Chain A
Amino acid sequence: MPILTRGRRRIRYELDSPAEGPADGPVFVLVNGLTQYIELWEPYRYMLVAKGFRVATFDLLGQGISDKPSLHITQDDQVAVLHDLIAELGGGPIFLAGISFGGVIALRYAIAHSDTIAGLVAISSFAELPPQLYLLGSVMRTGLILGGTSFLMDMLFPMNLSNEWLAHQMDALEMAKRRGWLLNDAYALQNLMESFLEFEPMTPQLSSIRVPTMVLNGEFDFLTPRSLQESLRVNIPDTELVFVPRAYHAFTLEKPVLTADYLARFARDVMSGRWKGKKTIWIGPEEPGGDFTPFPADFDHMRAIPVRHDKPQAAELEMANSGETTPR
């Protein structure tokens, strides 16, 4: 079990590499969401390696079997850990992807160290804490305190996954929750949540992110809804906003094959110079290998019902997407 040491702290990580290929080939670094741990990225380790990428996964401070500081964990500590891990990966383009809490850490990292990565994927992420998200976070913290980790698991599964997935997994759900409950310690989760108590919006710093950035937003994600993803699209200079059809907040768990396909295609586009960026808006395919479709320029992508844009905005979006009717 590889261990990264930072001061007194021990961070567990895994680095998977293709059997054939250079030691400094392109690498994806995947950052966990709040209650996640390395093993939940296993499908990505399997599929991205099969597509020729190295894959680095790790448990953040307070997660899985990395050290769990007893009283304080700051987000700056997590960024410092990520910086140490990335320094271990040697040459080769580095693509950083994080989901939700991990997306916040990835955004913070990209703001501070854009020069060390080739691309960023912000998945169900956010740079601000508007009242809905702040209050939902407070409810989650209270739930953790009053009902323990198992209550939090009970709440997160139906909040973040689709009916279809839940119906299919119903028999195995208790086992899934037990695994999360076993590996998560309540005090450590509380420390991770409380790292948001002094949260300042990152929006003013997003312009410091100088790498191609794909923002992934589940179509039905109500925890980190479209307005938060739109803020990333607008404020990070070189973005594409991609809607993942029929997806909720935790679609990395629900649709690993599809999401791994998105990640691999993003990295290949960046490395080959095919990356478009330009703050364009896309509807992702529902199946791996499918087409990315430009969001209809004359409709307001911020609405859940088809409302037309005013003309100048529509023209601007149409211009950004011009000529992009074929798969990327």
Chain B
Amino acid sequence: MRDLTDRALSTATVRGATYADVRIVRRLEESIAIKTGRVEGVASGETEGFGIRVLVDGAWGFASSLHLETDELDRVAAQAVRIARASATALRRPVVLDDRPAAHGTYATPLVEDPFAIPLERKIGDLLEADRAATRVRGVAYTESSYGAQREWKTFAASDGSYTEQEITHVGAAVEANAIEGDEHQRRSYPDAGGGWSAGGYENIRALDLAGHAEALAEEAVELLSAPQCPSGRFTVVLDPSQLYLQVHESCGHPTELDRVFGTEASYAGTSFLTTDKLDQGFRYGSDLIDIVADATAPGGMGTFGWDDEGVAAQAVPLVKAGIFVGYLSSRETAPRIGRRSGGAMRADGWNRIPLIRMTNVNLLPKPGMSLDEIVQDTDEGLYLSSNRSWSIDDRRLNFQFATEVAREIKGGKLGRLYKNPTYTGITYEFWRSCDAVGDERSFRMLGTPNCGKGEPGQGGHVGHAVSGARFRNVQIGVGKW
């Protein structure tokens, strides 16, 4: 590989780049989709190519190709430089990168069982067993079960001498049951609605025990058809990790992306209410219980790696400390603008995309004291919400509205009857300030999403969120009419 990366960097610098980096990425994917007890689709895919990013006259250019050949490396490097020169015709603030030590070394996701070495029929069999357990439940209209694995070999080299090689492996599996009657369509999923993804090997899939959970979740989907509508009003709410991780993702992860704060996503996904003046002021983001960290070293997280796609070493960056907003997800370009060093959050979705600031593993740290069960026992009256069904948040990440698959009544410290179609809404910082209990280590687990959308052209990000569940007071439940 080194001869190829050297060639690309040499051509770019000879053409006028003051900085250049190149990533050669090979991605292998496998997926299994099962619907109502039958194998609907099994696919494997492989893609390989390279992307060259250059700075010329303080402006960025990026070009990429799947043809990994010397001539093409030269053509694409020259194209990147030409693009950068075009960028420079509409430039007001030349790019300045922070210093970082040149990156060298290798990294591989720790795993026990290589998911690509497990025989396909065994993986299909495991998933079928879970899916059919759900399908057998009377009243289930259809089921959908999925398995996926992705491995990426990534070589990064930069004109400052950096050279790293990484092998990242992610797996996911989930089962979902749907029940339909008239206009009512109810769904329950396990382990979460995002596909149960994590970093590691097939041991992660076995640990999910999909088959052991499938029947109960299918029964709950059917039961929801005749469950009462979730009441509206102000309630105490306990969020299960299967919902809380997405709350963290949308209302803390995205607004702490420093490129958003500086407006570079404004025309697409929006900006952020967490402007830099709030960092200086020590803005109260949440209650004293809220500690949120972006940790690219957390075991099992899809945001775990050795170096980001700018060659910055993985690290843990505090975002919120005891409820106070203290930091951002950042890059070599954005961090110096607030007088800091890059937090190492730049990642690209494959060889044909530029790196953007992405969440690593944005985790809500557990609090010693009460387990999630004990938080429920400590709650006189409220609702326990599980598994995301719908999400939406405004373009500055303030007003959010989530729907979950199910709500369970909490009365006298015990879980009671089911409610269907729960929704809750709020303003981000008001919601997090209303948190008065966070679960301890016993329910702390790593979840995540493999399809975090950002950027133009669109990129899907694999990000992690470890959470333990939490309680919030005076939350608005129920919106809309049905």
Q: Please say whether chains A and B are actual partners in one complex.
A: no
Give B residues with C-beta under 8 Å from A. none
Give A residues with C-beta under 8 Å from B. none
